Amino acid sequence: MVARPQSSAAGVLALLSEPEPLLKQHALKTLNALVPQFWAEISEHIALIESLYEGDELSQVAHDAAALLASKVYYYLGEYDEALSFALGAGSAFEAESRVPGGEEYVETVISKAIDRYIKARAPEQSGAEGKIDPKLQNIIEGIFRRCVDDGEYKQAIGIALESRRFDIISAIYERTRDAGLLSYTMEAVLDTAFPLAYRDQVLKFLLPLFPPPTSESKSPHVYALTRLLVTLSSAELTVPLLTSLVPKEQLLAYQFAFDLVEGGAQDFLEAVRKELPEGQGEIKAIYDKLRRILLGQESIKLYLEFLKRNNKVDMLILKNTKDALEPRSSIYHTALTLQNAFMHAGTTSDVFLRENLEWLALASNWSKFSATAALGVIHKGHFEESLNILGPYLPHPGGAESGIPGAAYSEGGALYALGLVNAGCGSGRHVEGYLRDMLKAAENSQNDIVQHGAALGLGVAGMGGKNAETYDELKRILFNNSAVSGEAAGYAMGLTMLGTGDAACAEEMLTYAHETQHEKIIRGVAIGLAFIFYGRQEEADGMVKILMAETDAILRYGGVYTLALAYAGTANNDAVRQLLHVAVSDTSDDVRRAAVTSLAFLLFKNPAQVPRIVQLLSESYNPHVRCGATLALGIACAGTGLQDAVEILEPMTKDSVDFVRQGAFIALGMVLVEQSEGSSPSLASTRALYSKIVSDKHEDPMARFGAALGQGLIDAGGRNATISLQSRAGSRNTNAIVGMILFCQFWYWYPLAHCACLAFEPTGIIGLDGDLQAPNFEFISNARPSLFAYPAATKPPKKETVAKVAAAVLSTTAKAKAREKKKAAEGDVMDTDKPESKKDGDVEMKADESPSSTPKQGDAPPTPSRKSEPSFEKLSNFSRVVPAQMAHISFPPDGRYQPVRAVSTRPASAPKAGRSAASKSSSTLGLAPEKYAGGGGILILVDQRPDEEPDYIEFETQTIHAEIQAVPVADDRPVMVPEGRHISLDENAPEAGPPESFEVNCPRTEGYNQLVRVMELTNPVKVAVLDDYQNVAFTSADWSPIRSRISIDSYPETISDEDALVERLHPYTIICAMRERTKFPASLLDRLPNLRFIATTGWKNAGIDVAHAERKKIIVSGTEGGGNSTLEHIWALILATVRYVAIEDANVKANKVPWQSTVPMALSGKTLGLVGVGRLGSDTAKIARVFGVKVIGWSPNLTPERAAAAGVTFVGSKEELFERSDIVSLHMVLSARTHHMITAEDLALMKPTAFFINTSRGPLVDEPALIEALKQKKIAGAGLDVFEVEPLPLDHALRKLDNVTLSPHVGYVSDTSYEAWWSQTVENIAGFLIGNPKRVIHS
């Protein structure tokens, strides 16, 4: 029987008026189930239900049921506060309701209101108002906490505990789980949501002692969290105890913490930590000294400078194409190329493009000249030790005296600005700040506004966050002079100096002056300066924001927008976002509206996946300024992510009808796609092609071409080795980057400020250092397809198109007639002809393999070439580029010598995907997405697992120039360093000078000292000699075309050793290419070659060159790296050929000798191989020996049992024992004064008469006459030799006459692979020398 549906609750409601309590209790229970269906009808009796709840006549169960019924009725009426009040009185009935199907939404809503009321009640309780919380509410909350903990929902419980300030709950959860990840989650929650500053600091101080002590053995993943916590608190009192607790047992981890603190710490915080570190004694003192050195910040800057310099992958053809396309006499186009070149070469110290395009550079005038000079600061950013050296030719005269050169003020002001950019982040209070203050005062005395402008900007950038009172007062005096040009820069610089202080007095006097002045430029500078003062101050800035937003002056409202953005930077504060969105659609000023949309990026950059959704509608606004702001918001917030959602919004905006919107879209695309590859971003290739098209199209509007040029610079920033990131690797705010992007956004009004974008360029690589803070050679693994994170392919130069003949027009009647004739001919017999019919004009012969179908047409898919599948991983070396998305896929081989002391990445690896970025599909818990940080990497301190082995260190290309040889006197006695090329402040209207004579310039990028490079004009080719190229492979193994027009080459394949003959041959040559050690270059020979300036040797070491004397003679020596395993292969080729008598039997067979077999080869299995030297080659030789079943023993002067065991070799205590026991002795030592003739007649006499001697290292290691005697007397079975005392081996040498020796002409290092590597790098080295940037320099 089917139950009839109930149509009314009237019958049950009537029971509530019955006198019998049991009937009332039954009615209440029944009505609770009927509320969702009849709540409107029941609500008419709510007064009766409340009276039953408040009365005493019913049992406790009925009492709770009445409260629950009232609560549910009020819930459906939308009166949630009343619903909560009655739910609190329902007791166990409410708890039971949570288990009833269909009641989930009601229960969740009530609990949510309960939590909100509890949080609200807890806030005043923290101030001392105890006992005001309803015990029933407390019970519900405690129940929520219990359920969360029991169900393992720890993060939910932590979120409620943070909101309600229940630290005891957080402690209890950590005590229960001992999971440091939950502490990290708590820290991120309080930092990335809008908690008040005071409470935020309270939480962080509570969390700090809970974190377990970090250790290098466990690679504590919470090192990042601790770093972020300490940086946020910026408290030396909390930081110093952590560092001291790690000394001395975990000193490597202490160094790692120091480097990580430098990444995000403010200058005053780092300086306080340095001062409070104890001095220590002995070894402890050395550790603290290193920590102080790291915390100065300059060590990190030098390492990243080296990284950018050695990995520079700038595509010069892109710059060349832009230069050819843009009219250089237009200041906007000149500035565009200046900025593009500066961004692409940022931090690489390579000014090749400038020196190769001096004519273009000379066309800069006025403020374009200012920008062009300032670009040197971007290019050399971080090269602080040589900043005065590099910029010396352009800096003002001491005392501010006029130079007398027309336009010099612009280059002098630009140089001062550049000086600040070079020294940005290098520590406040350095001597450069004093120099800039002096220049500012001198320029003020001479009333030179342009120089004041540059000095003020430079001073602000260099002293950012230094809070230097003297600097602030000097800038304030410049501001009060009321000059528009210098006052604007002073306003910016004052804010930069007091960055993040929230100083009310400074803010008040700046705002007052903004009201008094009439100059819009000064008001804008002051407005942004105010924003800088309140950086990171959150609610403390609300008062100033309110004042600025209420101003009638749109420029001050513009400053108010940025003040709000910087105060809440990175917090994603809902109120701040709401306020910015309101301004974006309501303000009367387009500038303010554009700034409001742009500012969203500074609030939301930690959650880039949210930004496209938020700005989607704004990007479609009718107002072009709002659309432009949307482009920059996407670019800045999603920078470096390759986020496809952002790209899909920006791509249509590149076709916008308004030029400055298109400009913003081009710039933003460059930011989003920086360091992306075609494997990770499907839009990269099309974006690059679009840039090229827009820049080269002369009919495009200037603003769009300007934006495309900047986009090209940003997408290849830092030589393709830097990303743009507003947060540090640990996840804290990257102050320099945020400030740099705020200033970059002001390019709308003032192009030179665009240079500040370089402050946001973050080098992306892994730089490993050992405990001595030196960089060893090592390899690590990237567990992803190489193409996924590969450098973009180089731009290919356009091919010359051949003009094809156009077929003659044929009338349709003629074509039909010819067709009929062909048909007839096909039906008849085919006529044989001896010669093909001659072609007529206009006819084109088509070959069989050139059918129309074989020619791919535009739009057709190209044929897929057959190729091997791509490997799933690749090996990378120290100082390699590793992009942020790649960090999660990096691992160190467990058996590797070096291991990092902390985790490489802040997040675990996930399967890499091409196309749509995984970031666009981020999951979140309570608004916190674990995928949002792509940090990690950077500078890693490494544990050396084999400390007894000699480390192999990387030789740096960038080294300090000693102070005593820095300055080069010039005509006006300025302490100027040496210029690179022509001074850009030269009068462009002066008559053109004739070609100069060859001259010597000092190259500030050379290593260790000022090497002199002879720079020749192209009309006078440099003479090059190639020596000892026995096989004549130098010109077939490498492409010499890039330098062929600049050099004149002679090749001398035969070797001569007579010094007089060498002097006569080599006297005229500037460059000599030496093949290994075939020709020796002792000091006596170098002294007799006056024209020699550069020796390019193959290999990284050459004992035949007196490098120390070459350095004294200012002769640069460059080497090359090898390729392949040719030496190892030859070692075993020689061993096998010798012990199996291959050469002897080969000669016998060819000479028709009998008997057919004349020798008995030695079997290798079970024999003993003795290695003299167990380095890399020795270890590899031992591995192969084990394949043959050979026992391997080893000895060298420095070999230890541990190192021998690691190489799989049995250690023997003496050389004598090794020679006695071995059946084969193989030599693997480096030749030096100590090892010369280390193998003596006595050693050879100890060998078995059946033993063989092998030498593939160096001939002089062996007493050669003693070896010849042993072979003649048959004291040993034979020898295999690839190296000799004198090479080439003289024709009458005794070794050539012996029948028990196998000889090869020192070809152990020779192979097609190694030759290709050596000669290609030799060409690169010569090319570098010719432009004053020598590569792979070998030092003594």
Active site residues per annotation: 1258, 1287, 1306
Q: Are 961 and 985 in contact (CB under 8 A)?
A: no
User: How does 748-766 read in b/e, with b if 16+ C-beta sit within 10 Å?
Assistant: bebbbbbbbbbbbbbbbbb
Q: What are phi and psi of 466, to 5 degrees?
A: -80, -20
Residue whose pair of structure tokens reads 């190329």 in the numeric block = 337
Which residue reads 């072979």 in tokens?
1271
Using alpha carbons, select from 349, 566, 385, 381 the residue that is nearest to residue 458. 381
Q: Identity (one letter) of the amino acid at 119?
A: I
Q: Which residues of 801-826 are buried (b: 16+ CB within 10 A; e: fewer)?
A: eeeeeeeeeeeeeeeeeeeeeeeeee
**Of 1325, 1316, 316, which Cα lies nearest the Cα of 796?**
316
Whole-number Å distance between alpha carbons of 534 and 1126: 63
CB 759 within 8 A of CB 639: no
Contact in structure between 1139 and 1224 (CB atoms under 8 Å) = yes
Contacts of 928 (CB under 8 A, 6+ apart): 185, 188, 189, 192
Q: Which residue type, as a one-letter code, is found at position 916?
A: R
CA distance linking residue 301 with residue 271, whole number of Å: 16
The H helix count followed by the E strand count for the chain is 56, 23
Q: Residues of 1279-1303 as b/e, b for ≥16 C-beta within 10 angstroms?
A: bbbbbbbebebeeebebeeeeebbb
H/E stretch holding 1108 reads helix 1107-1112
The token duo for 1309 is 């290092």
Strand partners, 941: 769
Q: Report which of 410, 418, 411 is spatially closest to residue 435, judged by C-alpha positions.
A: 418
CA atoms of 614 and 618, how far apart (whole Å)? 8
Q: How far is Cα of residue 178 from the mean position of the Cα atoms in its chain?
A: 34
Q: Which residues pair with 767 in a beta bridge?
A: 939
- Whole-angstrom Cα distance, residue 1189 to residue 120? 79
H or E element in which residue 761 lies: strand 761-763
CA dihedral 783, 787, 765, 229 (to 10 degrees): -60
Max intra-chain CA distance, the chain: 135
Summarize the chain as % helix, strand, coil (round to 5).
Answer: 50, 10, 40
Residue 878: C-alpha distances to residues 767, 943, 952 (Å): 6, 14, 12
Residues 6+ apart with CB under 8 A from 1276: 1244, 1247, 1248, 1249, 1251, 1252, 1253, 1270
Q: What is the DSSP letter of 953?
A: B
Residue 854 DSSP label: G
Please, which residues bridge with residue 881 across strands? 765
